[in-house]
Structure 1
């Protein structure tokens, strides 16, 4: 861990929630106090269920508080038509509709619960780094457009005008996306959950889950929760409690940095509409600003000693180069977090036994997808057939040779960087 995130550092008025001391009963117990756990709690309470949320650290301690605050209502590396071809028309379109509406749900919850998380539905832009990539994003945008989404193809001049970054062949924008402060968003969801009547316990690590006649018993250091159903919302932070889950995804460590605030002249040139950007490179280039004009970007790392110091410096140099910022302000915050990446780059609900499921692998689309996942989990908790939910549902499926391949996304970074360079020189 390279440090606390920008969002955790600047959060104001955070209040501690108590640890569980004693016993509690609920219709639904949720393990994990991030976006998916909090959203599922909020939607389950609205359906009349009693809910207890158990968080091992603090609300938004994990990936929910360590991302860049992008709201992106579509899939990483997958397009609607190929999802429909893989899953079939009914299931495929159901999942596509789920993703398309995920940003709508995020911004509606913010409005409904008056969450002051610097939310701006300004749009998400994906610039294409080559002509071949531009052809792919034009096809991608067309697939979302035919489903009624507010998307638009951008030529090279439009990309540069909107982003301030030159050298792209073109791109597209999904105007239903945007930016927010993820920690304040999570804390606002937690406040709404408690106001609705659910209970949240922080610093309450679940040490064992046992099935009994009434459902499940969740043991903690100083107490126990008995619940009819359990939702495991730990994403890549499940630890030894759920080894069968850990073998079903690739854990991806991502670093983020935030600079000191940019001078106004540079700020007005870059992202004047305050969108967020992630391009088509294999070694993804991303950037956005926070409400105080700090420039935020992220990246992966190659496994070697000193990554916590080396990788943020590399991200900083890349920002200066790609955005033509010779006098870029220094790094003010640097941090890292874990994401769960599924082999098929789709979100999944995992059957852990009668009345217990897990949800994970939103593959870099965490804020939008996990919020929407919460609504689906609440339907399941209230009695819906899991096969009818919009997210693929199945028993855990271990990745073959997982022990060897679990770090493949990070280990393959040098190859990805080489391929990007070959693409841009026309040698690929």
Structure 2
């Protein structure tokens, strides 16, 4: 009897004492029901059971039994071994539960994963922090009204720091684009803008930090040529591209202001390295290919529905070539043969089949896109280019001149040029000066 009471819980021991008091007549059935929070019928049932079976009737009948759906010890050992493996070691408990279901075919609840791993002394790599009370900006009502962009340097694979450029919609939390580069650069941001426009369209606003890629550090007024075009502030290459696409660029004053994408980096820094290990990704090129499919998988799990289903993205106008907008634009002066120097190399402006005859000294705009060949723009028309190993003038000087037969003209022996000066005939006039003046004076042409 004592052993049974010892194995009871505090609640069960309290229940037994009240029932014993009811049996001995110290309390009535109604009073016992009030003390235990049970109905009088349940108190009568407990009295009858204790009188027949003793204190064991109070304990739960499943106590000490193993449930039929309980996780076996073999399965627990397997889960712990998988979590301690090199591929899954850095995965948090939620991500590990998804990996067990998708990669290992083990379908168990998060609470079971947490209990098994916690009993084995394993802690989650991502601990929940105590929430702080702060003002939280509401999401935009429509997708496409505000898109946050940023880059995150991190050891994503091979313990080498790479920068992941990304764009996320403020209304839905949907990842619109991801792209790896060796460091945060204009090329990476042009790439995610192209991905986003091809996937969803052109947003209304872009929300970024105050990096010099987005905001020019020059405080002086723009050049006169820019002011004549209506520009009141100095624009960066990225700013000029956004202006051409009619996208409003908004600058955040703190990382907390663009918390949507900052929390995305926290999630991806915890999940992506594990995914890269699972799929054997060790280079930036293969990582960028993997991200194309991973974006859809991530969005299916984490995207929320906006308040207004009518999106604010707009389609790219027909005839607009993104390679001439999302590119680096620089000015160059045309030299001989419609050529120009760029990046230490010499190029020639080309039409469809032959060089374009541009005047020497005119200014052209070089369009340098990292994905396509070098192009130039002159008077609003885009032309192709042709790389030349050397300038046309240098090429002409180095080529040997064609030998042509020189024709020498020699005068005859009796030509006046061959007569010595002393033997040349002297020319004289028989008429005197007075006669010549008289002839001129009497001439009809003199008075015409």
Q: TM-score, normalised by structure 2?
A: 0.20
* Higher relative contact order (CA closer than 8 Å, sequence separation 6+): 1
The structure whose Rg is larger is: 2
Q: Which has the higher strand share?
A: 1
Q: TM-score, normalised by structure 1?
A: 0.21
